[in-house]
């Protein structure tokens, strides 16, 4: 499997996938820097919660697009070169499917780790009150990565099944917009949409006082049932998607 993953990285070495991921994360970094520039003492006292509230909102828009682009760049090279049948003679289709997913997963994991570095660095520089809540940051890493990888898996299945990569890219774009939109609805509706799980697994809530225009953030209970549901969705997409790809006419 290590050789198969190394081969995937070799094939996309000139496709600048890392630049796409970095560019999208850079937008989030600039957004966070712009936001902290107007923070007063009250905001600084709950700065860590502010970031853990805002980043899932940004993720719901941008991470699906990143996942769609990463999956497309990994898979369209096979469509363009018509090498799927050739690869199938030297590597089982199931192994190729897994190798492509693991390669893309490393990019998505790197994106979340970069976010965490930005959150901690900006928090220290600006002067957020207290030490970084490392337990909450771990949950952020876990939940964001879980949603990212499930969406990446779906996008990879679509990118492998459709020669025209505009189909999976459009799904990623529409899914991201729908995921953000559905966050403003009851959580039961969020559970119905894969892209809505950025909101389902948020553990920071917000109270806004219309009279005083003061915003207060608070830690909410973690929705472990939602996490288990997401894990089941990941397993189902993997099994079904892998089977469709293995049986696909190369």
- For residues 85-94, one letter each, b for 16 or more C-beta atoms within 10 angstroms of the residue's C-beta and e for the rest, the string is eebeeeeebe
The pLDDT assigned to 228 comes to 94
Is the dihedral angle over the CA atoms 220, 226, 227, 228 positive or is it negative? Answer: positive
Give tens-digit pLDDT for 19-60. Answer: 777 887 788 778 777 767 677 777 788 888 888 988 988 898
DSSP category for residue 193: S
Q: What is the pLDDT of residue 83?
A: 60
Ordered by start, the domain boundaries in the chain are 2-247
Which pLDDT score is estimated for 89? 55
The per-residue pLDDT for 8 is 63
Among residues 241, 248, 249, which one has the least CA distance to residue 100? 241
* Interval 15-27: pLDDT, tens: 677 777 788 778 8
First-last CA distance in the chain: 21
pTM greater than 0.85 (yes/no): yes
Residues of the chain with pLDDT under 50: none
Local structure of residue 196 (DSSP, 8 states): G
CB–CB of 192/205 below 8 Å? no
């Amino acid at each position: 499997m290590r050789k198969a993953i190394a081969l995937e990285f070799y094939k996309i070495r000139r496709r600048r996938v890392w630049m796409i991921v970095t560019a999208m994360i850079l937008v989030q970094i600039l957004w966070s820097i712009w936001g902290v520039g107007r923070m007063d003492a009250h905001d600084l006292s709950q700065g860590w919660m502010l970031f853990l509230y805002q980043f899932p909102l940004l993720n719901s828009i941008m991470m699906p697009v990143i996942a769609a682009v990463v999956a497309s760049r990994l898979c369209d090279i096979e469509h363009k070169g018509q090498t799927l049948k050739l690869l199938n003679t030297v590597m089982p289709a199931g192994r190729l499917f897994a190798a492509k997913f693991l390669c893309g997963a490393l990019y998505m994991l790197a994106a979340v780790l970069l976010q965490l570095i930005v959150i901690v660095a900006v928090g220290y520089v600006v002067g957020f009150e207290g030490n970084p809540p490392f337990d909450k940051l771990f949950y952020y890493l876990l939940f964001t990565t879980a949603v990212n990888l499930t969406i990446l898996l779906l996008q990879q299945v679509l990118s492998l099944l459709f020669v025209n990569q505009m189909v999976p890219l459009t799904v990623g774009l529409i899914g991201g917009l729908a995921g953000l939109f559905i966050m403003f609805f009851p959580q039961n509706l969020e559970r119905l949409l894969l892209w809505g799980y950025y909101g389902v697994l948020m553990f920071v809530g917000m109270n806004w006082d219309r009279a005083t225009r003061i915003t207060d953030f608070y830690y909410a209970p973690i929705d472990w049932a939602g996490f288990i549901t997401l894990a089941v969705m990941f397993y189902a997409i993997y099994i079904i998607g892998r089977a469709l790809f293995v049986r696909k006419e190369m």
